[in-house]
Structure 1
């Protein structure tokens, strides 16, 4: 019996999937430029408001571990749409939260189920024809990255109009509408997993132990993201303070400086394809360290703060994209599970950086945050040194002739 034709992923459907990923993941960043307003409106402390950033990232990391592997067990269209609707519900709870406790709950729900984005990315690869697979995945990932960048700016703009909760209410409606649209346009698919959910989860640990470079590259990703998260979780306090006196809208616009990192993503990927992964990693880590000098000067100069934000976004993008290229090549047949391991570590690093950043701000203000950021960048460099040795050892092992023992 002839196999049914592969579903063709049209451009409108692909763009809708890109919008969906941006809405899902971007929702986890709505609160970052609004922390001052949230603390004031809900009558809570700066540290409690900043904790919502940590909650969103921890919840997202949990979803990466426990929900994303379900893409191999359940039909991907049904799973993605269900997760998106649940994320929309979390955003709605946040948008009508009367206090910090309910906001925490809504943030946790939205963060946990926003991993629908990480279901849609491999789904795009499944639906695309082989010659368009790379372009399809790149488009959906671009939507995710742009969603993160725009989330902060849009949140600041809408807060100027209707208060901090406006962006959550609008985000909930848009996420639900796009989810229902995806249900109508995406084809139904049959799961292809040959092992149960429990076995799939257990195999994640096997991959961690089997591939040393998965461990080093995941740790590098987590540390670099922790460094930038320390900045994002506290920048609203600095920029709204007496030195700069910016409003939510202005803080959101400052966040658009990170678009440089998004533009550079494709360039970094091409450099890695040319065998320059060592250079892109080293350049990214060097830029990460240097960026904190500019951010430190940003305590009294908005220009230097913007320069530092551009450099740090570019730096983390260079490290992250290089990491992805390396870990995906470790085992092509286990890319989804490898992605789960890597991205979980990545966002645990983000949550840790946010929590440490809030604590550093409480302890010593922006100077303490900058000290923390530099320290995390130097730890990233230390792990890179270990990864370089691991890679060199692997090359030597592959180049050594096999030794056979006479029978």
Structure 2
């Protein structure tokens, strides 16, 4: 079966709404801190615990997409997500909320099952464009989640957002059961053999190694920003409330618009060139953040640049690894995305640490150093890889 345009758009829609589960918590940190009597940086632990849970789910669950029928797997995991979101909404202690956050992250890996399904059902010449469109849905979900959760948290409290998210996932469960195509696996071995094969791919596929390392550092920058910007905007000179902070997520919509174009470029002869473009855009974004002062137009420009840069890096790398071994796309994606979201979790923790040590200026200096390291890694591989 080949995917129609409607199929691709539906997958993008579901991907965006499910990945949003990971990011609802970010603008809500201030409200969670107030309810449980915690410092904002301590309450921020739920952001990187959610991302750590996502990385765990990627590593342990996503490879099964090469072993079991994907649609059934997608439906089962979405059901777990509903339960985890309800647990968060009903948490009576911060410890329980932290446990729920890990479970929300682990059960929000459905987009990483949808993407290999779409890649398998796409033609070679359309694969990059298809991934780009679905990644647009994913990015819109990330950005909209922050704006929506900030608004809902301000109006009705942070628990309401988790109840609403559980309802959304319940509706998606019905929609995906009716519309998603069957996608049969090709792997016939055991789970142990499945997991062991991933280490073989890490050792034998240099493109996978480079893409994973660069994505680790790129995701750490993006995650550090979106976690720390809540503290930056909540404190003087801005002193914004949750509602206002959440609206800044809309500024990154330009990144979503760039994803299909990046996807097309990633199907070209030398997609690696997009990586350097993305890294330079990240550097420019941090420069805009550093010189923001009280000038919010620089801050908004930085948000647009950092999201477009991330799209250039991520869509390019994902297209490159899907072109390696069609029969092992879930396992390749597992390595790639697990490393990426360990990077995201690391970035959230790094951003909070930099904020505690030196507020916004040190955050900008520290993240600049990480981007420069990533450029060095890109240059190291430049002489070895061309695609």
Range class of TM-score, shorter chain:
over 0.9
* Partner SS, residue 91 of structure 1: helix
Match of 1:262 among 249, 252, 256: 256
Per-residue deviation, residues 337-386 of structure 1 (Å, max 9, x unmatched): 21111111111111101111111111111112111210111111111011
Note if 1:57 corresponds to 2:62: no
Match of 1:292 among 282, 286, 290: 286
Separation in 2, partners of 1:320, 1:188: 27
Separation in 2, partners of 1:183, 1:34: 31
Note if 1:359 corresponds to 2:353: yes
Partner of 1:309: 303
Contact conserved, 1:281 with 1:318, CA < 8 A, in 2?
Answer: yes
Note if 1:109 corresponds to 2:100: no
Note if 1:23 corresponds to 2:28: no
Q: 1:92 to 1:374 in 2, by over 3 A?
A: same
Match of 2:372 among 361, 375, 378: 378
Q: Could you state the TM-score of these two structures normalised by the residue count of structure 1?
A: 0.88
Partner of 1:341: 335
Please list every run of 5 or more consecutive structure 2 residues that lacks an aligned counterpart in the other structure: none
Q: 1:201 to 1:27 in 2, by over 3 A?
A: same
Note if 1:162 corresponds to 2:156: yes
Q: Which has the larger radius of gyration?
A: 1
Separation in 1, partners of 2:39, 2:225: 18
Q: 1:184 to 1:31 in 2, by over 3 A?
A: same
* Partner SS, residue 201 of structure 2: helix
Query: How many corresponding residue pairs?
Result: 387
Per-residue deviation, residues 227-248 of structure 1 (Å, max 9, x unmatched): 1211111111111112112222
Contact conserved, 1:269 with 1:321, CA < 8 A, in 2?
Answer: yes
Residue 137 of structure 1 and its aligned partner are, at CA, apart by 4.6
Partner of 2:71: 77
Contact conserved, 2:215 with 2:313, CA < 8 A, in 1?
Answer: yes
Contact conserved, 1:20 with 1:175, CA < 8 A, in 2?
Answer: no
Contact conserved, 1:216 with 1:386, CA < 8 A, in 2?
Answer: no
* Partner SS, residue 74 of structure 1: coil
Contact conserved, 1:299 with 1:366, CA < 8 A, in 2?
Answer: no
Partner of 1:236: 230
Contact conserved, 2:135 with 2:256, CA < 8 A, in 1?
Answer: no
Residue 138 of structure 1 and its aligned partner are, at CA, apart by 4.4
Separation in 2, partners of 1:390, 1:104: 43
Contact conserved, 1:227 with 1:372, CA < 8 A, in 2?
Answer: no
Per-residue deviation, residues 11-70 of structure 1 (Å, max 9, x unmatched): 665544333222221110001122112111221122221111111111111111110111
Contact conserved, 1:20 with 1:179, CA < 8 A, in 2?
Answer: no
Q: 1:110 to 1:123 in 2, by over 3 A?
A: same
Partner of 2:94: 100
Q: 1:128 to 1:208 in 2, by over 3 A?
A: closer
